[in-house]
A and B are shown apart, each in its own frame.
Chain A
């Protein structure tokens, strides 16, 4: 379907650490129909490709059901992709068996959204963090506690609290524990799946800053999955916007936010409430999408966004637009739209 896109990262000069090519995840489902059942397929992710440079950060943005979390789970191989490649330092890990996968599990870590359900409530923090250390034989016996305390300090928690249980910590602190657990195995890539969306605003900023420090100090690359456009703009050099299992636009941050080309990206940016406009003053252009995202079981033909798009014409139903560089694009900025056109004034209000 999609040709693997070249030069998607601005840091294309450095060899990518992670290359994802035409990744697909199709979940078969059974639906009751008459006396029998019919088999259908949920096309949760359908042909996603991107590169991640060492120490880089890629944002996957989109609304619920767009496949961003599924993509994250495939990269960390919590799910086995239906098709496509995940090249980590040149090795395709997409279909590796559990045993061959072991060494790569260490390199690719995930941090989950909900800090309440992703930590075992019956284990002490020290246990939670040292388990991966033992599994991967990373510390000598007797040195575990030292390493745990070092990690706790690294994520801004009191090292003396290593014997406490998760319920003794607040949401933000738990998210730090989750990050410490991921850090324990010294990964090269962290997939952060909505890492701050369950947190209060003031705590959210603390955790964002922590992740930024890790990126800067330890050179860890991030795939940052979020629905909050502000958070992504803040954290990511490269942004990929997903809609219904596909990437519709991808490029350097500044390009995506200041000159979005795809109508969906434009609508998304326009819909994000912004402090720049208070009660409609000063007026800003508003794009309002109608209706809901169609079902991924039976996605629209051609361009998947066409059913909600104000620019849609006949070609959109018959021909699927490719994710490609458009005539007015800056370097590395691609969009999958027949009528792509940069719109510059959507977020300029406060500038």
Chain B
């Protein structure tokens, strides 16, 4: 069955992967050394496929909500790492846990109704279990968030400018004039023409694309080290989406922040991501660089996603959807959560798919591209059967 949250099961898995995991002593030493990653010595290996020292490091994260019908395991044993200047895309469908995991990073979950275990480290500092007052200092400062729907995510009754200035004032002891100057600077930076006039306007006077630019300005006003963008372009039109994605890419080059991009759109992933993590039913099922995951996927769910998408670049034949529905998080199937929908499970000997939860293992025995699947000949099945269908 599933790996219990606090058992070192997942950590062992990682150890086998040839990736170092920290012992308790290591972690304590890390915490003492403080958050400065510049001075921190580079650890050998990491959870990031690039091997760079991560800024955000999530280890064995589990998020559970007790409900009237039972405990919902929204996120289960999730581990990933994002270095500065790199973008990780977390891909999944609704209910896969992709948003829940990032809300935990922001500490925005409802504390009374959520149980979080595992570790989330920012620049080496643990934030799981931190008091609300300490989390508040991190939120919006070192870590900021850009939400999906700029229409509902901006306060309709305050001017756009004052909302951006407010975000600056929370974390800086400066006068309102200084904050206003900073806000104007940000509006200009994100490409909003005529910032002085726009500063005084309300969100309803902005177009959708302009609102999302304002959201981004607000997210970046404190020069965060990590930006979590939750479906930042889903509510936008195609041409505006392209503008916003370009903006995010350019700003990342300029500020060098780490980005966690949460999306269901593989097209956006291809445009933005350095690394990709695919989630299904609360678990990571495949993780690697964008090249690995999109061009050499090694997990039937990822294949299914790729085959489901009608692309602009080819008039595909009939789409091959994944059959069935995602499982209820209250009642996950035994073994691999994907097994009831998986067209390849007959090829695994015995009933392993329905009895054993596959571990997240390197696809080629070693290396940073991992997937959670019992199939032995994943590479040859993909090359022989799936890739030709993708055209």
Q: Chain A interface (Cβ within 8 Å of chain B)?
A: 63-64, 170, 172-173, 200-206, 208-209, 212, 227-231, 233-235, 253-254, 257, 267-279, 286, 288-290, 292-293, 347-351
Q: How distant is the Cα of A204 from the Cα of B273 in the complex, in angstroms?
A: 23
Interchain Cβ contacts under 8 Å between A and B, 9 examples:
A172-B325, A201-B309, A209-B319, A229-B312, A257-B312, A268-B239, A277-B271, A279-B271, A288-B243
Whether A200 and B313, one on each chain, are in contact in the complex, defined by CB atoms closer than 8 angstroms, is no
Q: How distant is the Cα of A204 from the Cα of B322 in the complex, in angstroms?
A: 10
Whether A273 and B270, one on each chain, are in contact in the complex, defined by CB atoms closer than 8 angstroms, is yes
Whether B237 and A64, one on each chain, are in contact in the complex, defined by CB atoms closer than 8 angstroms, is yes
Contact of A267 among B239, B246, B266, B290 (CB under 8 A): B239
Q: How distant is the Cα of A243 from the Cα of B267 in the complex, in angstroms?
A: 23
Q: Which residue of the partner chain A has the closest CB to B322?
A: A202
Whether B238 and A63, one on each chain, are in contact in the complex, defined by CB atoms closer than 8 angstroms, is yes
Whether A234 and B239, one on each chain, are in contact in the complex, defined by CB atoms closer than 8 angstroms, is no
Q: Chain B interface (Cβ within 8 Å of chain A)?
A: 93-94, 207-210, 237-243, 245-246, 264-268, 270-274, 290-291, 294-295, 304-316, 318-323, 325-326, 391
Q: How distant is the Cα of A257 from the Cα of B312 in the complex, in angstroms?
A: 7
Q: How distant is the Cα of A231 from the Cα of B267 in the complex, in angstroms?
A: 13
Q: Which residue of the partner chain B has the closest CB to A270?
A: B242
Contact of B245 among A172, A273, A293, A347 (CB under 8 A): A273
5 extra interchain contacts, Cβ-Cβ under 8 A, other than A64-B237, A202-B308, A273-B268? A201-B93, A201-B308, A273-B265, A278-B290, A348-B313
> In the complex, what's the smallest C-beta–C-beta distance from B139 to chain A, in angstroms?
29
Contact of B308 among A204, A254, A273 (CB under 8 A): A204
Whether B271 and A273, one on each chain, are in contact in the complex, defined by CB atoms closer than 8 angstroms, is yes
Whether A275 and B306, one on each chain, are in contact in the complex, defined by CB atoms closer than 8 angstroms, is yes
> In the complex, what's the smallest C-beta–C-beta distance from B203 to chain A, in angstroms?
15
Find the residue from B264, B313, B314 having the highest chain A CB count within 10 A. Answer: B313
Q: Which residue of the partner chain B has the closest CB to A171?
A: B94
Whether B270 and A257, one on each chain, are in contact in the complex, defined by CB atoms closer than 8 angstroms, is no
> In the complex, what's the smallest C-beta–C-beta distance from A251 to chain B, in angstroms?
14
Contact of B241 among A173, A235, A271, A348 (CB under 8 A): A271
Contacts of B319 in A (CB 8 A): 205, 208-209, 234
Whether A274 and B315, one on each chain, are in contact in the complex, defined by CB atoms closer than 8 angstroms, is no
> In the complex, what's the smallest C-beta–C-beta distance from A267 to chain B, in angstroms?
6
Whether A272 and B391, one on each chain, are in contact in the complex, defined by CB atoms closer than 8 angstroms, is no
Find the residue from A204, A235, A277 having the highest chain B CB count within 10 A. Answer: A204
Find the residue from A230, A254, A278, A290 having the highest chain B CB count within 10 A. Answer: A278
> In the complex, what's the smallest C-beta–C-beta distance from A225 to chain B, in angstroms?
14
Contact of A231 among B294, B304, B310 (CB under 8 A): B310
Contact of B294 among A202, A278, A286, A290 (CB under 8 A): A278
Find the residue from A64, A203, A229, A290 having the highest chain B CB count within 10 A. Answer: A203
Whether A201 and B305, one on each chain, are in contact in the complex, defined by CB atoms closer than 8 angstroms, is yes
Whether B313 and A276, one on each chain, are in contact in the complex, defined by CB atoms closer than 8 angstroms, is yes
Find the residue from B243, B314, B391 having the highest chain A CB count within 10 A. Answer: B314
Contact of B290 among A229, A257, A279 (CB under 8 A): A279
Q: How distant is the Cα of A275 from the Cα of B270 in the complex, in angstroms?
A: 6
> In the complex, what's the smallest C-beta–C-beta distance from B208 to chain A, in angstroms?
8
Q: How distant is the Cα of A272 from the Cα of B311 in the complex, in angstroms?
A: 9
Q: How distant is the Cα of A270 from the Cα of B313 in the complex, in angstroms?
A: 10
Whether A227 and B237, one on each chain, are in contact in the complex, defined by CB atoms closer than 8 angstroms, is yes
Find the residue from A64, A201, A204 having the highest chain B CB count within 10 A. Answer: A201
> In the complex, what's the smallest C-beta–C-beta distance from B92 to chain A, in angstroms?
9
Q: Which residue of the partner chain B has the closest CB to A290?
A: B243
Contact of A233 among B210, B242, B310 (CB under 8 A): B310
Contact of A229 among B238, B245, B305, B391 (CB under 8 A): B238
Contact of A234 among B307, B310, B321, B326 (CB under 8 A): B310
Contacts of A293 in B (CB 8 A): 207, 237
> In the complex, what's the smallest C-beta–C-beta distance from A32 to chain B, in angstroms?
15
Contacts of B241 in A (CB 8 A): 271, 273
Whether B312 and A269, one on each chain, are in contact in the complex, defined by CB atoms closer than 8 angstroms, is yes
Rank and list the top 10 A-B pairs by shortest CB-CB distance, nearest first: A273-B267, A205-B321, A234-B310, A271-B242, A63-B237, A205-B308, A202-B322, A200-B93, A205-B319, A230-B310
Whether B321 and A272, one on each chain, are in contact in the complex, defined by CB atoms closer than 8 angstroms, is no
Contacts of A276 in B (CB 8 A): 270, 311, 313
Contact of A350 among B209, B310, B313 (CB under 8 A): B313
Whether A253 and B246, one on each chain, are in contact in the complex, defined by CB atoms closer than 8 angstroms, is no
Whether B311 and A350, one on each chain, are in contact in the complex, defined by CB atoms closer than 8 angstroms, is yes
Contacts of B391 in A (CB 8 A): 350-351
Whether A257 and B315, one on each chain, are in contact in the complex, defined by CB atoms closer than 8 angstroms, is yes
Q: How distant is the Cα of A203 from the Cα of B325 in the complex, in angstroms?
A: 8
Whether B270 and A63, one on each chain, are in contact in the complex, defined by CB atoms closer than 8 angstroms, is no
Whether B318 and A202, one on each chain, are in contact in the complex, defined by CB atoms closer than 8 angstroms, is no
Q: How distant is the Cα of A288 from the Cα of B207 in the complex, in angstroms?
A: 17
Contacts of B326 in A (CB 8 A): 200, 202
Contacts of A227 in B (CB 8 A): 237-238
Q: How distant is the Cα of A260 from the Cα of B266 in the complex, in angstroms?
A: 24
Q: How distant is the Cα of A289 from the Cα of B209 in the complex, in angstroms?
A: 12
Contact of B316 among A234, A268, A272, A347 (CB under 8 A): A234
Q: How distant is the Cα of A271 from the Cα of B267 in the complex, in angstroms?
A: 11
Contacts of B322 in A (CB 8 A): 202, 205
Q: Which residue of the partner chain A has the closest CB to B235?
A: A64
Contacts of A206 in B (CB 8 A): 321, 323
> In the complex, what's the smallest C-beta–C-beta distance from A2 to chain B, in angstroms?
24
Contacts of A209 in B (CB 8 A): 318-319, 321
Contacts of B245 in A (CB 8 A): 273
Contacts of A230 in B (CB 8 A): 267, 309-312
